[in-house]
C-alpha cells in the first residue's frame, strides 16, 4: 500500500468483540524476522477456498485474481474464483475502506454478506487482505521488541478523516492495541512484511516509519509454507462416536493437523474436548462446512473444549498443535452430549 493514511482494519465477529485482543497467537521465525497468525483460525491444510465477487468491475476482479494467487504458490491451499453460492470468501468493492475477516472467521458470516472489501485496489492491499484471510494479523501489533511509539494526536486526526473515517474505538483496536507477549512465541517485527502498514514518520514520536510493502516478504512466504505445509498430509478424518470415551491420538510432526468426524443424531448440547499434556487448538465445522466454534484453552490445562448446541448432521473437528512450527505430542479426544 502506498505511503498514505489509507490503512485496512480487522473485521471482527460480534463474539470476538467481547474478548480481549490478546488472544492466543503464534509467531513464526527466528533471529530478527517473524510472521504472526491466529492459529485457531487457520483453514484446514489443503483446503479449496471458493471465492465469489460481490460487485466490482471486470478489471477490478481480474486484478484481485492476478495478485491473490501469489499466496498459494507457498501455502498448501487452492483458490477457486467463481459464482458458487456456498463460497467461503466473498469479495466486495464498496466505499467502506479495506478490510477482511481473519481466517476461518469468514465461515461464520451470512452467505449474502462480504467477508473482504477493497475500498481501493493495488497489489499491496490485495496481498494484505488475503493475508488476513489466511489467518495473518497486523504486523505492527506485535508486542515483541516493537519500536513503534505512536504520535496519537496525529494518527487520530489522520484516521478519523477521509478516506477511513474511523471512530476512536476502531483506531484504538487497529493501531494501538498489541497482543499479549505472554501469549506469543517470537522475535522482532518484520519491517518488510506485506502485513505491515505503510505510515509516515509524523505518525510516530521517534520518527520511525515504514516504506510501502507491495510484495510478499521472505518471512511472509515462510509463514505460508510453515502453517500450510505441502510435506504434511492431514491425518484423518477419523470417525468419533458420541459417548464412546476418549480416542488416543498424536501430533506426530510439526505442522500436522488431525481431522475427525462425528454425527449428531439428535439436536442438543454437545461437548468436544481433548485431554493430555499437549498444547492444542481446535476448530469445529458444521454439516455445510460452516464455522461452529474455535477454541484454545477452555479445557483442562492447555486443552481446547467446545460446548455448542448442534442440530442433527455430520460435523468435522480440526486439531492442531499451538506451536505449528515445532510442536508435537500425544493427546486424547472425545465427544459427549448432554
Structural domains for the chain: 9-227 (3.40.390.10), 235-337 (2.60.120.380)
User: Rounded distance, CA 68 to CA 60, Å?
Assistant: 12
Helices (H) and strands (E) in the chain, counts: 6, 17
Angle at 88 between CA 82 and CA 92, to 5 degrees: 65
| pLDDT value of residue 249 | 95
Any idea how long the chain is? 338
Residue 306: the pLDDT is 95
Model pLDDT, residue 128: 92
Instruction: Beginning with the edge strand found earlier in the chain, give each strand of the sheet holding 116-117 in spatial order.
Output: 9-11, 99-101, 116-117, 89-92, 48-54, 78-82
In order along its 338 residues, the chain shows pLDDT tens digits of 333 445 565 555 544 443 444 443 333 333 223 345 556 688 888 889 999 999 999 999 999 999 999 999 999 999 999 999 989 999 999 988 889 998 988 988 999 999 999 988 999 999 999 999 998 877 666 555 567 889 999 999 988 887 678 889 888 877 887 655 433 333 456 778 888 877 888 999 988 887 778 899 988 898 788 878 887 767 889 999 998 789 999 999 887 889 999 999 999 999 999 999 999 989 899 997 888 888 888 999 989 999 999 999 999 999 988 877 678 999 999 999 98
| pLDDT for the residue numbered 137 | 76
pLDDT score at 2: 36
Cα–Cα dist 297/303, whole Å: 5
Provide the greatest CA pair distance for the chain.
61
Beta bridge partners of 102: none
The answer to whether 115 touches 89, Cβ cutoff 8 Å, is: yes
Q: How high is the pLDDT of residue 96?
A: 80
Position 198 scores a pLDDT of 76
Amino acid at each position: 500500500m502506498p505511503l498514505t493514511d489509507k490503512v485496512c482494519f480487522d473485521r471482527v465477529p460480534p463474539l470476538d468483540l467481547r474478548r480481549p485482543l490478546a488472544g492466543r497467537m503464534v509467531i513464526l521465525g527466528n533471529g530478527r524476522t517473524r510472521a504472526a497468525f491466529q492459529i485457531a483460525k487457520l483453514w484446514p491444510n489443503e483446503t479449496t477456498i471458493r471465492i465469489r465477487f460481490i460487485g466490482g468491475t471486470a478489471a477490478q476482479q481480474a486484478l484481485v485474481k492476478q495478485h491473490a494467487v501469489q499466496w498459494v504458490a507457498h501455502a498448501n491451499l487452492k483458490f477457486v474464483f467463481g459464482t458458487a453460492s456456498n463460497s467461503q470468501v466473498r469479495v466486495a468493492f464498496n466505499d467502506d475502506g479495506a478490510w477482511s475477516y481473519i481466517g476461518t472467521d469468514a465461515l461464520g458470516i451470512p452467505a449474502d454478506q462480504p467477508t473482504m472489501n477493497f475500498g481501493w485496489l493495488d497489489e499491496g492491499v490485495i496481498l494484505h487482505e488475503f493475508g488476513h484471510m489466511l489467518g495473518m494479523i497486523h504486523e505492527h501489533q506485535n508486542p515483541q521488541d516493537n519500536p513503534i511509539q505512536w504520535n496519537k494526536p496525529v494518527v487520530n486526526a489522520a484516521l478519523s478523516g477521509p478516506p477511513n473515517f474511523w471512530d476512536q474505538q476502531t483506531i484504538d483496536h487497529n493501531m494501538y492495541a498489541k497482543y499479549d507477549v505472554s501469549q506469543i512465541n517470537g522475535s522482532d517485527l518484520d519491517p518488510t512484511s506485506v502485513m505491515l502498514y505503510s505510515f509516515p514518520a509524523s505518525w510516530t514520536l521517534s520518527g520511525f516509519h515504514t516504506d510501502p510493502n507491495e510484495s510478499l516478504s521472505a518471512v511472509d512466504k515462510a509463514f505460508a509454507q510453515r502453517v500450510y505445509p505441502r510435506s504434511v498430509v492431514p491425518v484423518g478424518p477419523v470417525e468419533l462416536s458420541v459417548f464412546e470415551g476418549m480416542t488416543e491420538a498424536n501430533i506426530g510432526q510439526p505442522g500436522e493437523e488431525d481431522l475427525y468426524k462425528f454425527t449428531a443424531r439428535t439436536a442438543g448440547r454437545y461437548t468436544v474436548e481433548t485431554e493430555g499434556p499437549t498444547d492444542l487448538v481446535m476448530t469445529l465445522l458444521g454439516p455445510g462446512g460452516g464455522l461452529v466454534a474455535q477454541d484454545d484453552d477452555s479445557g483442562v490445562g492447555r486443552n481446547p473444549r467446545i460446548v455448542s448446541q448442534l442440530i442433527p448432521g455430520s460435523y468435522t473437528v480440526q486439531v492442531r498443535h499451538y506451536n505449528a512450527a515445532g510442536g508435537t505430542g500425544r493427546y486424547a479426544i472425545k465427544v459427549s452430549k448432554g
